[in-house]
Amino acid sequence: MKKTHILLVLFAVVSMAGIMGFVLNKDATANGTTFDPRVEKLLAQMTLEEKIGQMTLYTTDWGSTGPTIREGYKNDIRKGNCGALFNSHTTAFTRELQRIAVEETRLHIPLIFGYDVIHGYKTIFPIPLGEAASWDLAAIEKSARVAGTEASAAGLHWTFAPMVDVSRDPRWGRVMEGAGEDTWLGCRIAEARVRGFQGKGIGQTDAVMACVKHYAGYGAGTAGRDYNTVDMSERFFRDYYLPPYEAAVKAGAATVMTSFNDYDGVPATGNKYLLTDILRNEWGFKGFVVTDYTSINEMVLHGVVANEKEAGELAVNAGVDMDMQSAAYQRFLAQSVKEGKVPMQAIDDAVRRILQAKFDLGLFDDPYKFCDTDREKKTILSAEHRAAARDVSRKSIVLLKNERNVLPLNRNQKVALIGPLADNKTELIGNWCAAGNFNDCVSLREGLRSAGIQTTYAKGCELDGHDKSGFAEAVKIAKAADVIVVAIGEKAQMSGEAASRTELNLPGVQEELVQELAGTGKPVVVVLMNGRPLVFPQLIGSASAILEAWWLGTETGNALTDVLLGEYNPSGKLPMSFPRSVGQVPVFYNEKSTGRPYDPNSKWTTQYIDSPNSPQYPFGFGLSYTTFEYDEPKVNRTTFKKGQTLQVLVNVKNTGSRDGEEVVQLYIRDLIGSVTRPVKELKGFQKVMIPAGQSKEIRFTITDQELSFYRRDMSFGSEPGDFDLMIGGNSAELKSVRVTMTE
């Protein structure tokens, strides 16, 4: 072809693409945000009601994730009353609903389908708190990648995850959904999850939009009670609670969900300071904001507005783009616009953001892009996905105790397998298990069996209740065995949303069962499955070994068997402190010094008269089948100028006889600040494999960012002076080196 002909063809293709709207360039419009030119074109054709429809999200009747189910969602689609649906998945169902939207509505605008894909769609991974215990960012990203791949293959475009709420209160059932108590670890995990869900980018057929939630401060509800008030200083909020949301936004999360709680007296869903000043103006968030379930209406009960119409006005004016399930926008927003209570500009901006997401997803080019049934069949629960789940699951297990090296088990030992979770599948997928089916799970008993381990089995007792009639049988098989493995814990529904507890004990008679078994004199290995830090004083005395296994999901039995047999050397570390008693809650590692720091020999210092201050198991704690020894850390310079980077090195030796992974943790303390500073703060970690008998030098780089905080005048930055840099294998056992920052 001649050069001129090539140019002509190119010109024709480009013009056609322009007419059909396939041009990738975006126009700049309101608020400095850049939108696809097709957004503007479509917006110009929309009635106010159609715009409000795009700002509305309803659930289908396929799932109940809140108190009310609005009926008639198919009619809502037809009438253009909603632009997005949740709790709708599978290619068949989403195709059916999408067809109504694109064929039966005036403007043929496709729907977005969302779902709570929190730790897997069908292949269920460990609960997020469990995965956080892996301290393995690549594995966590992979878990979200698999979840995104399966969800998008099942017709979904959007997951309501990651949940990045920092929480120090294990009474709160939703700690299971987050990354635990630490801000820095929470930031890194938030980024990994966003990257995992969104893959190579929205619009790829294997990616879903992430939704950072619950913005903001939801993990700090008073008394650990779900949906409760949140009140704290702005300094505390910015230092500890806000950073993971910011990290997730900056990692490119497409959407943000508001939280149920208020912050500083204003419900998050109507909080302009949070939604506009911080989220959009400080952090530059360009995606759309959705409320949590009916949280617009709930502002009436919060007592900040008189009715749902005012609630909608407060929300949209604060910066909420999409109303989940309140129907407040649909019912009242047009009237509010007509009355001048809500500027048209606010509506247009919200709709632009939502339409832009639909263009980014590629739904205008092909609304059925995610409805490929063949792909769905091939992708979901694939061998590769199960293998990834097994990998993350075994990395998430934390070895809390291992007296006389009772673990790993020896293949020749006779094992008595006991406990309500030993042969159970129904609980293994935990809370928020999306489309997970417990029948796809491998139970602990099955896992051991398929590894060739013969066991005798007795249930012993239920997860709750007072019935001890099964104890006798359990003791009988225990006596005939060499070692007892007992699997106990919480019911899956005891953690998650609306599942706060005042007691953190093991429910029912489970702890008594372990004591009875220990009475046989045989070593007892306890496998715990639960959604939060628990308190189990008797167990610590009676068990020889304790494995914290959370809810591991589909591959539970295989992962646990790998660890029990030593095929995998445990490497998990707690992402939350485990208290000695409920009375200590909240107990966390990064507390401040106070004017009367803890001194067990002086009554007049900050302490209890009936308990030490320290938790039972500190943040970052976890044993291995090998041991690690840390040398004193060294720095490349003990004095450095503000802004200069600093290298800190430590030599870690594997002093045992097995290869093992260690999570080397770096904490800092700013000794004197213009405001009180925590006694330690995690600022880095590396998970490294160290072969038996060998050493590794671990190097951390500290920049000004790690030394910065909100200073007395609320500016963010570092202050010259002395810092302790502390390195170790958990937050309580650290070796330190002092450095000085000069102006």
- Cα distance between residue 2 and residue 108, in whole Å: 41
Strand-pair partners of 742: 641
- Cα distance between residue 648 and residue 266, in whole Å: 43
Tokens of 683: 């600022």
Q: Considering only residues 344-383, where is the footprint of ligand NOJ by CB under 6 A? A: none
Of 50, 116, 391, 670, the one binding ligand NOJ (CB under 6 A) is 116
CA distances to 57, 406, 607, 630 from 646, in Å: 49, 42, 36, 20
Nearest CB to ligand NOJ, comparing residues 94 and 616: 94
- Nearest distance from C-beta of residue 517 to ligand NOJ, angstroms: 39
Residues that bind ligand NOJ (rule: CB under 6 A) add up to a total of 8
Tokens of 3: 């050069």
- Cα distance between residue 553 and residue 743, in whole Å: 52
- Cα distance between residue 166 and residue 169, in whole Å: 9
Of 76, 191, 292, 321, the one binding ligand NOJ (CB under 6 A) is 292
- Cα distance between residue 365 and residue 342, in whole Å: 32
- Nearest distance from C-beta of residue 96 to ligand NOJ, angstroms: 21
Q: At what angle do helices 556-564 and 383-396 cross, to 10 degrees?
A: 50
- Nearest distance from C-beta of residue 165 to ligand NOJ, angstroms: 10
Q: Which residue's Cβ has the minimum distance to ligand NOJ? A: 65
Q: Considering only residues 8-67, where is the footprint of ligand NOJ by CB under 6 A? A: 65-66
Residue 465 sits at φ, ψ, to 5 deg, of 90, 175
- Nearest distance from C-beta of residue 299 to ligand NOJ, angstroms: 15
Nearest CB to ligand NOJ, comparing residues 62 and 598: 62
- Nearest distance from C-beta of residue 160 to ligand NOJ, angstroms: 3
Helix (H) or strand (E) holding 716: strand 716-717
Nearest CB to ligand NOJ, comparing residues 82 and 444: 82
Nearest CB to ligand NOJ, comparing residues 66 and 673: 66
Q: Considering only residues 417-436, where is the footprint of ligand NOJ by CB under 6 A? A: none
213 binds ligand NOJ (CB under 6 A): yes
- Cα distance between residue 83 and residue 113, in whole Å: 9
Contact (Cβ atoms closer than 8 angstroms) between residue 535 and residue 580: yes
Contact (Cβ atoms closer than 8 angstroms) between residue 325 and residue 43: no
252 binds ligand NOJ (CB under 6 A): no
- Nearest distance from C-beta of residue 293 to ligand NOJ, angstroms: 4
Q: Give the residue from 213, 164, 166 showing the smallest Cα distance to 190.
A: 164
- Cα distance between residue 273 and residue 285, in whole Å: 14
**Chain center to CA of 598:** 33
Give SS3 for 313.
Answer: helix
- Cα distance between residue 431 and residue 491, in whole Å: 9
Tell me whether residue 440 is one of the annotated catalytic residues.
Answer: no
**Catalytic pick among 292, 321, 391, 562:** 292
Nearest CB to ligand NOJ, comparing residues 256 and 461: 256
Of 293, 550, 667, 723, the one binding ligand NOJ (CB under 6 A) is 293
- Nearest distance from C-beta of residue 221 to ligand NOJ, angstroms: 12
Q: Considering only residues 487-506, where is the footprint of ligand NOJ by CB under 6 A? A: 497
Nearest CB to ligand NOJ, comparing residues 259 and 577: 259
Helix (H) or strand (E) holding 8: helix 3-20
- Cα distance between residue 390 and residue 553, in whole Å: 9
Nearest CB to ligand NOJ, comparing residues 212 and 422: 212
Place of tokens 């309501």: 160
160 binds ligand NOJ (CB under 6 A): yes
Nearest CB to ligand NOJ, comparing residues 217 and 618: 217
H-helix segments, 27-114 = 37-45, 48-54, 73-78, 91-104
Binding mask 165-204 for ligand NOJ (x = CB under 6 A): ----------------------------------------
- Cα distance between residue 617 and residue 132, in whole Å: 16
- The one-letter amino acid code at 357 reads A
- Cα distance between residue 52 and residue 86, in whole Å: 17
157 binds ligand NOJ (CB under 6 A): no
Nearest CB to ligand NOJ, comparing residues 94 and 443: 94
Nearest CB to ligand NOJ, comparing residues 168 and 174: 174
- Cα distance between residue 574 and residue 394, in whole Å: 14
- Cα distance between residue 432 and residue 64, in whole Å: 11
Tokens of 418: 């006991």
- Nearest distance from C-beta of residue 438 to ligand NOJ, angstroms: 20
Binding mask 61-90 for ligand NOJ (x = CB under 6 A): ----xx------------------------
Strand-pair partners of 163: 213
What residues contact residue 285 under an 8 Å CB cut-off, 6+ apart?
A: 249, 256, 279
Binding mask 693-712 for ligand NOJ (x = CB under 6 A): --------------------
Q: Give the residue from 691, 652, 657 showing the smallest Cα distance to 408.
A: 657
- Cα distance between residue 299 and residue 310, in whole Å: 9
- Nearest distance from C-beta of residue 95 to ligand NOJ, angstroms: 22
- Nearest distance from C-beta of residue 292 to ligand NOJ, angstroms: 5
Nearest CB to ligand NOJ, comparing residues 323 and 548: 323
- Nearest distance from C-beta of residue 238 to ligand NOJ, angstroms: 23
323 binds ligand NOJ (CB under 6 A): no
Nearest CB to ligand NOJ, comparing residues 152 and 584: 152
- Nearest distance from C-beta of residue 124 to ligand NOJ, angstroms: 17
Contact (Cβ atoms closer than 8 angstroms) between residue 540 and residue 505: no
The conformational region for residue 199 under phi > 0 = left, psi -120 to 50 = alpha, else beta, is: left
H-helix segments, 180-256 = 183-198, 234-236, 243-250
- Footprint of ligand NOJ on this chain (CB under 6 A)? 65-66, 116, 160, 213, 292-293, 497
Residues annotated as part of the active site: 292
